[in-house]
Amino acid sequence: MKENVVIIGGGPSGIEAARRIRNFGYTPILIEKELRLGGHLAQWDRLFPEGVYAKEVLQTLLSDMDGIKWFTDVQILTINRLKDTYVIKLTNGISVQSKAVLITTGFQLFQAEKKEEYGYGIYNHVITNADLERYFQNRKDSRIDDPKVIGFVHCVGSRDEKAGNRQCSKVCCATAVKQACEIKQLYPDATVYCFYMDLRMFGRRYEDMYLEAQQKYGIRFIRGRVSEVSENHEGRLVVKAEDTLFGRPLRLSMDLLVLMSGIVSSHQSQELAKMIKLPVGEDGFFLPQNTILEPCKSQKQGIFFAGACTGPKTIPESLSEARAAAVAINDYFNTMTE
């Protein structure tokens, strides 16, 4: 009989891990809390740096799901370990058993309304990076009305001790540059500003994307944080910021402000951490056994990690880690049978 492997979280890491685990000859059981598989990828339009459509990536991942069982709209009620087996009770009344559990619970975006000074949910033309991706997908959002001046605020709720998140969200800089170029494609006459602390263009071709944003699209990069946002009597946004390179304060009227909500640990990760007593870091993300040598192994036997549940990652990084986790799980079963 094939061994079960329970995978908690049906985002790209969970799907890719399920496929690889199946290829090793096990039966993956994928558990997803949302109504459909795909995680944040399903809600994103295009991916940096080349602008590949997220939908195509997800379709490719989902095109080969033979031999994989999955439940959607389901949450974990309890996880108990009996000898070397985990018994997992689900909210749909089903219990599943597995000697190996892979956690791929990903991340959630920082709630932008917590940065009250930026006025998300207060002022009509303040949106988030996720809202903008939805707009790119369906072109429907009453808050976006032929904007002439657009701003992007980097690091909203990340690298921000006041917000309780010291960590860098890693992918927001590249996402902001990508989105700035995309909105410029839609509104070529618009003036687009990016307010940044540092531009962390760490990946291959990211620097090219940044240069293209300046040279081809004329995006104006301002090193400094936005201090407050308000609305004038015409309903336009009034954005106060500081240009730290020029050493002077700025006040700009804008038609749209996009907040780059940072990546924080998901609620599901936090619940699981309490349920299984898994250690998490100060940033709320799971702590692997060894961040360099064993990033996919937890500190508990039979529990593995992949993707952004151990910290912010790009899609390719999450997929690579999912494959590595499949190998680690296969090794784990092989060790058990020796």
Q: Is 113 in the site for other proteins (CB under 8 A)?
A: yes
Q: Which stretch binds other proteins (CB under 8 A): 11-19, 37-45, 113-121, 308-316?
A: 113-121
Q: Which of 124, 137, 191, 299 binds other proteins (CB under 8 A)?
A: 124
> Closest distance between other proteins and the C-beta of residue 221, in Å?
25
With left for phi above 0 and alpha for psi between -120 and 50, is residue 100 left, alpha or beta?
beta
Q: Is 123 in the site for other proteins (CB under 8 A)?
A: yes
* Residue 300, helix vs strand vs coil: coil
Q: Name the token pair of 325.
A: 């986790």
Q: What is the DSSP string of 290-323?
A: BTTTBTTB-SSTTEEE-GGGGS---HHHHHHHHH
Give the torsion sign (CA, 256, 188, 174, 198).
negative
Within 10 A of 185 (CB to CB), how many other CB atoms are there?
11
Examine residue 232 and tell whether it contacts other proteins (CB under 8 A).
yes
Largest CA distance in the chain: 74
Which segment (114-122, 152-160, 171-179, 255-263) binds other proteins by CB under 8 A?
114-122
Q: Identify which of 322, 316, 262 has the alpha carbon closest to the alpha carbon of residue 128.
A: 262
> What's the min distance (Å) between Cβ of 205 and other proteins?
39
Query: To the nearest whole angstrom, how small is the minimum distance from the Cβ of residue 107 to other proteins?
Result: 24
Contact with other proteins (CB under 8 A) among 163, 238, 275, 276? 238
- On whether the CB atoms of residues 231 and 238 are closer than 8 A, the answer is yes
User: Measured between alpha carbons, how far is 85 from 88 in angstroms, rounded to an integer?
Assistant: 10
Sign of CA dihedral 283, 284, 290, 294: negative
Place of tokens 């009250």: 116
Residue of the chain from 228, 243, 271, 282 that contacts other proteins (CB under 8 A): 228
Q: How many of the chain's residues bind other proteins (CB under 8 A)?
A: 14
Using CB under 8 A as the binding rule, whether residue 233 contacts other proteins is answered as yes
CA atoms within 13 A of residue 4's CA, in its CB half-sphere = 19
Contact 253, 238 (CB under 8 A): yes
Binding to other proteins by residue 116, rule CB under 8 A? Answer: yes
Question: Which residue lies nearer to other proteins by CB, 232 or 337?
Answer: 232
- Find the binder of other proteins among 94, 122, 186, 211 (CB under 8 A): 122
Q: Does 142 bind other proteins (CB under 8 A)?
A: no
Indicate which single residue of 121, 218, 249, 279 sits in contact with other proteins (rule: CB under 8 A).
Answer: 121
Residues 129-149, buried b or exposed e (16+ Cβ, 10 A)?
bbbbbbbbbeeeeebbeebeb
Residue of 56, 117, 208, 271 that binds other proteins (CB under 8 A)? 117
The nearest distance, CB 56 to other proteins, in angstroms, is 35
Q: Which stretch binds other proteins (CB under 8 A): 71-79, 101-109, 153-161, 226-234?
A: 226-234
State the first-to-last Cα distance of the chain, in angstroms, to the nearest integer. Answer: 17
Task: Please identify, using beta-carbon distances, which residue of 121 and 218 lies nearer to other proteins.
Answer: 121
Q: What is the smallest separation between the CB atom of 124 and other proteins, expressed in angstroms?
A: 6
Query: Which residues sit at the interface with other proteins, rule CB under 8 A?
Result: 113, 116-117, 119, 121-124, 228, 230-233, 238
